[in-house]
Amino acid sequence: MVSKADRVVLIGVGGDSGCGKSTFLRRLKDLFSKELVTVICLDDYHSLDRKQRKETGITALDPRANNFDLMAEQAAALKSGQSIQKPIYNHETGKIDPPERIDPTPIVILEGLHPFYDKRVRDLLDFKVYFDLSDPIKIQWKIQRDMAERGHSYDDVIRAIESRRPDFSAYIDPQKQHADVVLQILPSELPEKKDGTKKIKAAMVQVEGIPNYDPPYLFDRAISDVCWKPNFPNSDPELTFCYGTTDYFGRPASYLSIDGEFAPDDSPELEQKLRNTSETRFGELASLILKHTDYPGSRDGTGFFQVLIGLKFRSIYEALIAQSLAAAKV
Ligand SMILES: Nc1ncnc2c1ncn2[C@@H]1O[C@H](COP(=O)(O)OP(=O)(O)OP(=O)(O)O)[C@@H](O)[C@H]1O
Ligand SMILES: O=C(CO)[C@H](O)[C@H](O)COP(=O)(O)O
């Protein structure tokens, strides 16, 4: 666990509903004690309640249903160490509740649909992560959750995804071009599972030149495009782990990808081939996977990369705190 300091580090975690943001935030709890972190759900900045959105036909994804002036003002206040009176959007009633007081902690995470939409907010963020879920996986996860846990029918789920698609494409998806690290969750290129469910290929894209971020890579940084098929006895025989360079919206970037499923017990061996993980002890990444094998994604690249992003985020946080302490001494 890292220690407390004065500077407020502001993090943005973006992506559509159901793309794994909460699972990622749950994993961060292993790395930061709870007094260090405040999570702000940006749904609280909805300016139109559910009834108003229904009447006007404006969705929650549409910027017109969100108060970016207030979001920017309050993000700036938190970053400069001031408390705010944050509105609350109540998902049970669909109404906007009276505001609550939020006091800044050393880390404030803005998570939700629009963390990078407004330039004023975007420019305040010290690290930006976007969860980019491809459509077939979005459908699969939503069906699993909304049918099993929320009593929705298959048709309801598909209708809900379809009705969000135009505004998702117009306002949410384009934000990924502003992210520092993007976790892409794609259908596997390997043969399907016997039950017909899709395996996952996860790719962690890391834009070059992120302050305080030394990108992890596979084997050797000098080898820029490499794939490894480990052939673990209890994992997918075709499991493939790759590292390469790419272009992300005109910015040079590198990526790590894992295609296929692995037994969590094999994660130490996967981790051994990675460099620059920002672990504080050897084997930390795998031990964090093994600690929560019940979390979704613990058998594929989604969980593995969520933990890796968490470790990198911790090292950014520590670097920023060290810099602010050094500046305070001058
Ligand atoms: N790596 C994963 N593998 C398989 N399923 C997953 C994975 N991550 C998340 N899910 C599924 O997707 C659902 C949504 O995940 P999660 O709650 O983390 O997303 P979210 O972005 O916070 O969603 P929301 O904004 O709707 O709360 C989970 O209930 C789970 O069923
Ligand atoms: O995308 C969403 C959150 O990520 C929700 O659809 C949005 O916040 C509206 O919520 P509700 O459907 O409860 O009125």
Tell me whether residue 153 is in a domain. no
User: If you search the block for the tokens 């930006």, which residue do you land on?
Assistant: 128
CA distance 281 to 183: 24
Q: What is the mean pLDDT of residues 267-280?
A: 94
Q: Are residues 194 and 321 in the same domain?
A: yes
Tell me whether residue 135 is in a domain. no
Q: Ligand 1: which residue has its CA nearest to atom 17?
A: 22
Report ipTM (2 d.p.): 0.95
CA distance 110 to 11: 6
Which is the closest atom of ligand 1 to the Cα of 202?
Answer: 1
pLDDT computed for residue 4 by the predictor: 42
Q: Which residues line the pocket of ligand 1, CB cutoff 6 A?
A: 15, 17-23, 141, 144-145, 296-297, 302-303
Q: Are residues 212 and 119 in the same domain?
A: no
User: What does pTM read for this prediction?
Assistant: 0.95
Last residue of a domain, one of 99, 130, 161: 130
Q: Are residues 118 and 197 in the same domain?
A: no
Range of the domain at 217: 180-325
pLDDT computed for residue 2 by the predictor: 39
Provide the domain count of the chain. Answer: 2
Q: Taken in order 76, 80, 85, 90, is the CA torsion positive or negative?
A: positive
Tell me whether residue 172 is in a domain. no
Of the listed ranges 95-99, 233-237, 252-256, the one predicted with least confidence: 233-237
Q: Are residues 193 and 254 in the same domain?
A: yes
Q: Are residues 255 and 313 in the same domain?
A: yes
CA distance 160 to 16: 12
CA of 54, nearest ligand number: 2
Q: Are residues 78 and 215 in the same domain?
A: no
Q: What pLDDT digit, counting tens, does each position of 52-83 carry? A: 999 999 999 999 999 999 999 999 999 999 99
Q: Are residues 185 and 296 in the same domain?
A: yes
Residue 330 has pLDDT above 90, yes or no: no
Which is the closest atom of ligand 1 to the Cα of 303?
Answer: 1
Q: Are residues 58 and 191 in the same domain?
A: no
